[in-house]
């Protein structure tokens, strides 16, 4: 079952249960997936990651503005979206991937970070945030 099919099924269940907040979040995600499909994207997980990131950034902005209630709502939506994404890599798993990427790319200093980052992000296959990977690559290269 594709992510979009699962979302439609969950939307139907949420509508029957009368869970308005969940219905709204699922409709938004489905809309973004359909928009991406029309544009020829086709990568459902990339859309989910992007939408999750948007929710987390909005939550941070609301917190800074002193709007805790709105921030909590955005965080709940981000958690809901995260439920459809593959599990994140543990720090240990990510360290192993980064070490292998640094070794395979031949990177020796922070100047070579781009090559190692490319290999590490490819190996992580979307199961780790770019910021996390970047920090670990930088640490592995002594930067």
Can you list the residues of the chain whose pLDDT is less than 70?
1, 143
pLDDT of residue 1: 66
Q: Are 107 and 141 in contact (CB under 8 A)?
A: yes
Burial class (CB in 10 A: 0-12, 13-18, 19+), 64: exposed
Q: If you classify domain 3-82 with CATH, what class do you get?
A: mainly alpha
The pTM of the full predicted model, rounded to 2 decimals, is: 0.73
Nearest to 74 by CA among 97, 63, 58: 58
CATH of 91-140 among 1.10.10, 3.40.720, 3.40.50, 1.10.3470: 1.10.10
The CA distance from 93 to 124, in Å, is: 9
Residues of the chain with CATH 1.10.1510.10: 3-82
Residues of the chain with CATH 1.10.10: 91-140
């Amino acid at each position: 079952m594709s992510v979009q099919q699962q979302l439609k099924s969950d939307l139907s269940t949420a509508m029957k249960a009368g869970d308005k907040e969940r219905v709204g979040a699922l409709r938004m995600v489905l809309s973004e997936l359909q928009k991406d499909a029309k544009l020829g994207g086709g990568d459902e997980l990339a859309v989910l990651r992007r939408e999750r990131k948007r929710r987390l950034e909005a939550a941070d902005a609301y917190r800074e503005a002193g709007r805790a209630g709105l921030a909590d709502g955005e965080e709940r939506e981000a958690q809901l979206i995260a439920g459809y994404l593959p599990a994140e890599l543990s720090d240990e798993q990510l360290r192993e991937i980064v070490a292998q990427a640094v070794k395979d790319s031949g990177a020796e200093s922070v100047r070579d970070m781009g090559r190692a980052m490319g290999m590490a992000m490819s190996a992580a296959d979307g199961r780790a945030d770019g910021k996390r990977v970047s920090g670990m690559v930088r640490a592995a290269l002594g930067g």
